[in-house]
Chains A and B, each alone.
Chain A
Amino acid sequence: MAYELTDEGKRYLRFGLPELRLVRILEERKEISLGELRSSLPELAIALAWAKRNGWVEVRKGKVVLLRSPAEYVLQQALRDIDEGREVEENLLELLLKRKLVRRVKRSVRDIAEEQLKAGISKLTPELLRSGLWRRAKLKPYDVRVIGKKKYPGKSHPYRRIIDEVRKRLIAMGFVEAKGPLVELNFWNCDALFMPSDHPARSIHDMFFLDHPREGKVLDKDLWERVGLTHKNGWKTGSRGWGSWDFPLARRLILRSQCTAVSARKLAELGKTGEIPHKMFVIDRVFRPDVIDAKHFIEFEQCEGIVVGEGLNFRHLLGYLSEIARFFGAQQVKFKPSYFPFTEPSVEGFAYHEKLGWIEFGGAGIFRPEVTLPLGVSCPVLAWGLGIGRLAMLKLGVNDIRYLYATDLDWLRKKGVI
């Protein structure tokens, strides 16, 4: 930035700053009345203000009295320096700017460009472009093969991108996204899904139980009773039931071991509101004790969905499964019988992968009446689950589940976004 003197500044450069002139006058006669001074010094007000501030003079009974006179005045020197293009201290410059003795000047673009050319600039600049002087600039060729500092853009997690893609596709198919608590009542996670109290998947080896807090609340007593009776004797579902039900176990708090718990909650809600037909999906974390290695971790994502409506049947279930597999690029699908405690019939879907052959992509079934009727839903409910972690690993080309919850920044930085 460049500076120049204003007209006032130029005058003071020539004749001296008013406060300095005042002092010089006083140096001859130590005391002079204000009236007298006014005639010899037109800028008396300015002069007095600054001289007083500098501690040079005092006004006593209408007379100005000299206290001390400065040998040199830095501000006067600063005026000269600016006029001659030298740099001055920041505080002096600010003072002069404030007194409007100095102003900022824009140098002409051409001047700047000229200077840049003189300095032997190697880059194209706005000044060179505007002034047209770029024609005289010598822009040397670079080694265009050299890349400077490596940059890592902010990106979403590769697994997140896959999850988001699945979400979008399910929403496009008319599914409404749902969510449920991570800490779950055993009731919603298992009992409402007609998993017997002594089911192997309910042991301490297969589910995380909470130490604090330990028990959840029974909000809908009637529902709990219906579910309990269904376990004991089938209630009104036409089932023989399991012969027993462990109520204290149902009240225990656990970490959700399957997203089907969210489906159970949704069905209970639909049972009350009657908002049928309905399609729901959830993609969220579940927890299961396991050894921790390349193939196993103790928490992972599950993707589940239900379709609730009158007249739905097994062929429709296979229809949804085929459609979902098609989304993942499977040209061929096949189905085989399977087992889930809460569905009957149950099915497992396999999709054909060019390199890996037939891979299992998900399990599905029609919820048992022992599940739906106590929750207040009397029409068929198609339920499916997708091995989203496995599909993601396949897509990301990794065979270690730990990449999905990667702690390797290098991998995240370098992984592409396709």
Chain B
Amino acid sequence: MPVLSYDKADLLSLIGKRLSDGELGNLLSSLKPELEEIDEKEVKVEHCPDRPDLFPIEGLARAIRFRLGMESYKEFVVDRPRLQVVVKDVRSRPFIACAVIRGVRIDDRYLRSLMQVQEAFHETLGKGREKVAIGIHDLDKIEPPIEYRRGRRDETFVPLGEREELTLVDVLEKTEKGRTYAHLVREELPVYVDSLGIFSFPPILNSERTRVTTRTKNLFVELTGTHFKLVNQVLVLLATSLVERGGKLEGVEVVTKKGRLVTPVLEKREMKLSVPKCNSLLGLSLSAREVASLLGRMGYGVREVGKDFVVLNVPPYRTDILHEVDLIEDVAIAYGYENFVPELPNLATIGGELEIERFSSSLRELVIGLGYQEVMLPILSSREKQEKFAAIEGLVTLANPVSKLYDCLRVSLLPGLLGFLALNKHLELPQRIFELGDVVVVDEKEETRTRSVRKLALATCDSDVGYEAIASDVDAILSSLEMRYRLLPCENANFIRGRCAEIRVKNESIGVMGEVNPSLLEDYEIWVPVVMAELDVTKLCEITRT
């Protein structure tokens, strides 16, 4: 969840009311964001991703003004476009949306807010500028006609913060932003151009020429991206928050091969909320009038209050509203979560544990009784360690592991136990450990082409431990389960030849035990003999049930 910090004085002045730190914190958390830190100058807020309209400081202040009843819903007016942008063939980020804001008064706070909101949207909805990149310019420094097209590698401009002209390739190689985002423009170099040349190189850098300063009177906002819906959404969020500081929003005509469109596209939405549904979901008994008033405090426009319904205008920046239940949550938020009286319903059901868990608990008790310490280890493991234990069906492997140590799911608990012993070599012997946990095997029959299997593994590490030690422990476990078993000598490269047995119950193989092969101990740099056993608990559990 994005954490953003705001200039406290600016936030309070945008709210238009003096608030103590406590009051501000309570207000924020009664909406949805969480106050992280607050001091003399700064307010740090953690946001929920569903309310990007609260990311800009102006949007945050607006929500608080609504909440305090200082403001009510108003429609955003978009003036007719005076400016046109012609879109030529740009394939990697084909969609743009632009807007003009006229008559702004820009101070340092405004500048800071502009920087911050761009950053916030780039990182969240923009997915690191890949999906959406924003550029904000001084409109009066731009000389139309404006074109959005592919740039040539040797075309030059003075990027923001530079003194000299750089070619587009130089921008990618020599500027910090260029190096950071170069991977997004491998295909082509998109640029905005006016009659004086390039003034924006999305998603990398704007030009020094169109830099916004405290003398800027009119803003040109341009966005580029991979999906029009998202590009327009971010423009709406941005434009509707910036105009909260004053100025008039004006559309821009975007001309493409397919036709003409004025952006931003502000959707006028009306929704009808059923009051009985609202009450039944929240466990309240509010009147339609009360519901309307609560939603008014959440920034909705109330069009009509019926007997058991309310018709509302949904502000264009509330792109998170998909369903009636989203309105109902806003009723709850306005009502105040602290005002709900928690209540347990009269809903009798009979609880119960899973058979495999009950069985595992019995096994755990037995193994602990034999003096073993339980360990809990990761299910993710490394191919290198698990391959020795894998069946022919192979391992379940990851496409995007974060480390070679965890690039597959375990098929056996034994490598984990050996790894554990290797990490505790310095401690007193004997070391007796066990794990009861899940492994995952490939199984084409299953919906997920894999199957989780519960296993039990035991290991004893001691200077004079031998086969009979593990055999008598396994016998103790299986005898306590009143299970008749057979031991078959077996060949298993992980154990010493002739000191390894396959354990069979009802002619089904349910496990293996033996003295660990010294070559395996060498791999783990364990210099004390180890005996181990691994049992298939899922199978054992099935057998006990039949």
Contacts and interface: CB of A to CB of B under 8 A. Distances in A.
A238 B449 contact: no
B528 to A, nearest CB: 14
B445 to A, nearest CB: 10
Nearest to B355: A177
A57 interface: no
Contact of A336 (B29, B343, B431, B442): B29
B50 A154 contact: no
A266 interface: no
Contacts of A345: 281-282, 325, 328-329, 332-333
Contacts of A181: 446-448, 450-452
Contacts of B397: 210-212
Interface in B57-104: none
Given A171-B353, A219-B447, A159 B332 contact: no
Interface string A236-252: 01111111000000000
Chain A interface: which size bin? 35 or more
Interface stretch (B105-113, B157-165, B377-385, B499-507): B377-385
Nearest to B332: A345
B5 interface: no
Interface stretch (B146-154, B197-205, B254-262, B401-409): B401-409
Contacts of B380: 255, 287, 298-299
Interface stretch (B299-307, B419-427, B479-487): B419-427
B376 A368 contact: no
Interface string A249-276: 0000101000000000000000000000
Interface string A279-311: 100000101011110000111000000010101
Given A185-B447, A322-B342, A337-B329, A380 B281 contact: yes
A103 interface: no
A213 interface: yes
Contacts of B284: 315
A314 B340 contact: yes
B371 A405 contact: no
B322 interface: yes
A154 B370 contact: yes
B189 interface: no
A290 B377 CA distance: 17
Contacts of A368: 323, 325
A384 to B, nearest CB: 12
Contacts of A240: 322-323
B122 to A, nearest CB: 13
Contacts, number: 275
A164 B365 CA distance: 13
Contact of B400 (A160, A171, A209, A279): A209
B326 interface: yes
A15 interface: no
A164 B374 CA distance: 14
B392 interface: no
B409 A316 contact: no
Contact of A182 (B51, B322, B379): B379
A154 B371 contact: yes
Interface string B306-321: 0000000000000000
Given A309-B345, A311-B345, A339-B50, A316 B283 contact: yes
A380 B283 CA distance: 12
Contacts of A309: 345, 347
A409 interface: yes
Contacts of A285: 379, 438
A217 B449 CA distance: 8
A409 B352 contact: no
Contacts of A290: 402
B351 A366 contact: no
B323 A238 contact: yes
B494 interface: no
B354 A179 contact: yes
B280 A313 contact: yes
Contact of A335 (B338, B398, B401, B428): B338
Contacts of A239: 322-323
B297 interface: no
Contact of B373 (A154, A175, A313): A154
Interface in A130-147: none
A182 B423 contact: no
Contacts of B353: 167, 171, 177
Contacts of A370: 322-323
A351 to B, nearest CB: 13
Nearest to B326: A344
Contact of A366 (B281, B341, B396, B440): B281
B394 A174 contact: no
B448 A212 contact: no
A150 B428 contact: yes
A404 interface: yes
B22 interface: no
User: Looking at B124, B280, B357, B399, which has the most chain A CB atoms within 10 Å of its CB?
Assistant: B399
B427 A174 contact: no
Contact of B344 (A164, A238, A319): A319
A173 B349 CA distance: 8
B349 A174 contact: yes
A48 interface: no
A369 interface: yes
A406 interface: yes
Given A153-B371, A213-B442, A240-B323, A185 B448 contact: yes
Contacts of A298: 378, 380, 402, 406
Nearest to B422: A407
A160 B398 contact: no
Nearest to B438: A182
A314 B281 contact: yes
B347 A307 contact: yes
Given A183-B450, A316-B345, A212 B396 contact: yes
B345 to A, nearest CB: 4
B105 to A, nearest CB: 34
Given A174-B349, A298-B402, A337 B373 contact: no
Contacts of B401: 208
B424 A313 contact: no
A388 to B, nearest CB: 13
A277 interface: yes
Nearest to A241: B322
B249 to A, nearest CB: 25
B395 A159 contact: no
Nearest to B439: A182
A182 B452 contact: yes
A224 to B, nearest CB: 12
B32 interface: yes
Nearest to B428: A150
B432 A154 contact: yes
A391 B345 CA distance: 26
Given A209-B400, A313-B281, A154 B372 contact: yes
7 contacts: A154-B367, A214-B399, A239-B322, A278-B349, A311-B280, A344-B328, A413-B373
What are the 3 tightest A-B residue pairs by CB atom distance, in nearest-first order? A313-B283, A315-B283, A345-B329
Given A211-B397, A311-B280, A407-B375, 8 more contacts: A155-B374, A160-B374, A181-B448, A183-B450, A185-B447, A208-B399, A337-B329, A369-B325
